[in-house]
Amino acid sequence: MINYVCLFAVALLLFFAGSWLLPITDPTEAVYALTAKEMLAAGDWLSPRIYGDFWFDKPIMFYWELLIAYKIFGVNEFASRFFPAVFATLGLFLTYFFGAKLYDKKSGFAAAIILATSLEYWYISHAVITDMTLLVMFSLTLVSFYRGYSAKNPRLYLIAFAASGVAVLTKGPIGFFLPGLIILIFLAWQGDLPHLKELFRAKNLLLFAAIVAIWYLPMTIIHGAEFVENFLGVHNFLRATVSEYQKTDVWYYYSLVSLIGFFPWSFAIIGIAIKKFRRLPKLDVSEKFLLVWALTVVIFFQLCATKYITYTLPAMIPTAILLSRCFVNSWKVFIGVAGATLIFFPLVQFFVAVPLAEDNSARREAEMILPLIDDKTCVVSHGEKYPGSLVFYTGAKVYRLETKYNFYHIKPQAMTWKSKNVMPFMTFDELPADKNILAIVSVDWERKFLDNTLCKWELVGEVPKGALESLTEKIFYGREHKELKYKIYRRGI
């Protein structure tokens, strides 16, 4: 019991404390938060929508979490980050449980602490994205399978298929396909492929199908081909075959991510990898399963074209359990590293993460323009990135202002990454003459903005960037950083 109390205290300190200070950031967090906000306003808990239109980027599970949190706590930062922190806590308990079952309570506790104090896990526990929910459901699928397999208790397979169904409701087909691939490789290594018949019994498949059908069936009936094409085509097939960001499509990407993501425990990863591969033929069943789990996740996503830092998060639990075995006989080292990290990460959150989040959010811009918006005002944004968080915080319709040439090249097109550009657009020649115009302009695009309009603009606000740099200069030099992020212009009727 004391171990669970300690893990819960760690979760409160690392995952929940100060989460309300982190603003909703662009581009990803703003999309999830704004989608849930619009669903709540529409009273529609089935069809995700953003900017007034239906939006088929991700399945429903994470939106349901946001909707529940918004109903309980209101639409704010704490509510947005509540369930990622909850699932991060559940991930700790699951790691402790599985590590203790495989080895002993000391190993399980060490694994859970290693997980909690790893940089990537700590970061994702605060992020308004689907990945922490996927991690828990993905891991519960595999833990339930292995417990059922090792204990010869096929009833536990029902839990595995139920968890996989929720994973599919969270992230899509990958929630079934990838755990299935891991189980397949593991059983092949064991020389026990006939066990698949026991696993894929009709009752298990029916339970999985029933859970998945809760959302996918009505969505297919209501939205038909549009849903299938956008959800399965763009956000699953295209993601796997066409890189969204070419600079991340390199062979070493996830090797680097894994080392950085497990900071400060990264130093042990290389050592344990060498140790396990040297004694590969002598590994016990549990070590085989953990290795297959971790390596399959990393290798699979390395082979996919689109790469995100968060994709290999499901490999962290088996890796943490394997790493825990390095410290069973080095407990003082473990306590020292863990204790230092429990002090370090809260400091990083308050003095680094909060300013960085502020720089990647339009919350300050929203506070500036809200008093200036009325029924006769048209709000536009001009810059390289569209600030969805500005819409989240203001509730206003914000047009992405572009030249005709740029609009032609970035307007939504089926089965391309441009299909994600679903925000409202406006070209310079479409600026309404019968309304006041409020323009939020990136300073890097200011010259282009002024050159493309013949209007007389009034500068009504400036938003500094580099909140972190500003804080550093204020602390060490007694002065603030004055470089600007946005300028706010107004044009009257």
Nearest to 33 by CA among 366, 353, 456, 319: 366
Please compute the mean of the pLDDT values over residues 385-412 and round it to a whole number.
91
Q: What is the mean pLDDT of the chain?
A: 90
328, pLDDT greater than 60: yes
List the structure tokens of 23: 């603003």
Lowest-confidence region among 189-198, 342-351, 452-461: 452-461
* pLDDT tens column, 220-249: 999 988 888 877 766 565 555 555 556 666
CA distances to 54, 117, 161, 195, 346 from 143, rounded to whole Å, are 36, 22, 11, 17, 30
In this predicted structure, the answer to whether residue 76 has a pLDDT above a threshold of 70 is yes
Residue identified by tokens 């390095």 is 326
The domain limits of the chain are 2-357, 362-491
One-character DSSP codes across 388-444: HHHHHHH---EEEEE-HHHHHHHS--TTSGGGG--S-EEEGGG--TTSEEEEEEEGG
Q: What is the pLDDT of residue 102?
A: 96
Torsion of CA 90, 96, 97, 98, to 10 degrees: 110
Task: Give residue 120's pLDDT band: very low, low, confident or very high (50, 70, 90).
Answer: very high
Q: What gap in Å lies between CA 52 and CA 75, rounded to an integer? A: 18
Stretch 127-142: mean pLDDT: 98
Least confident range from 183-192, 385-394, 468-477: namely 468-477
pLDDT exceeds 90 at position 107 = yes
Among 133-142, 186-195, 250-259, the range scoring the smallest mean pLDDT is 250-259
Specify the pLDDT at position 5: 96
- Residue 220, classed as helix, strand or coil, is helix
Q: Can you give the pLDDT at residue 477?
A: 46
* The pLDDT of residue 448 is above 50: yes
